[in-house]
Amino acid sequence: AQSVTQPDIHITVSEGASLELRCNYSYGATPYLFWYVQSPGQGLQLLLKYFSGDTLVQGIKGFEAEFKRSQSSFNLRKPSVHWSDAAEYFCAVGARNNAGNMLTFGGGTRLMVKP
């Protein structure tokens, strides 16, 4: 069964600083990979997804993520954080051979942005 680990429960960065949120997954083959963001009181919004091809994927709001097979990682990055990026971020894995395509989520990383 697949699993996802987000090692950082909380991260605080200054506005304008760069950001990297870590995500490691466990799966026997190449999975589908996703990053979602959840703002307070709101549902999850899809930031970006990796299915195949170019391992560097671009998403909304200036985010990008890089799939590294050798490290079983899919870290999320942003070059310059804005105060509105403060939220909780979830990495998720979908198995390619899973008939249901249900997602397995990491525990989340809560991002705080200092002015």
Partner 1 sequence: GAGVSQSPSNKVTEKGKDVELRCDPISGHTALYWYRQRLGQGLEFLIYFQGNSAPDKSGLPSDRFSAERTGESVSTLTIQRTQQEDSAVYLCASSLTRTSGGGAQYFGPGTRLLVL
Summarize as ranges the residues that interact with partner 1 (CB under 8 A). Answer: 32, 34, 36, 42-46, 49, 51, 90, 92, 94, 96, 99-108
Structure-token pair, residue 52: 């195949």
Q: Which is nearer to partner 1, 80 or 101 (CB)?
A: 101
Q: Which is nearer to partner 1, 15 or 22 (CB)?
A: 22
Q: Are strands 56-58 and 44-50 parallel, antiparallel or unpaired?
A: unpaired
Structure-token pair, residue 74: 């899919």
Q: Least distance (Å) from partner 1 to the CB of residue 55?
A: 15
**Residue 56 CB contacts under 8 Å (≥ 6 apart), including other chains:** 64, 65, 66, 67
Residue 96 vs residues 2, 15, 18, 67: alpha-carbon distances, Å = 11, 37, 32, 16
Q: Least distance (Å) from partner 1 to the CB of residue 115?
A: 25
Q: Which is nearer to partner 1, 8 or 105 (CB)?
A: 105
Q: Least distance (Å) from partner 1 to the CB of residue 92?
A: 8
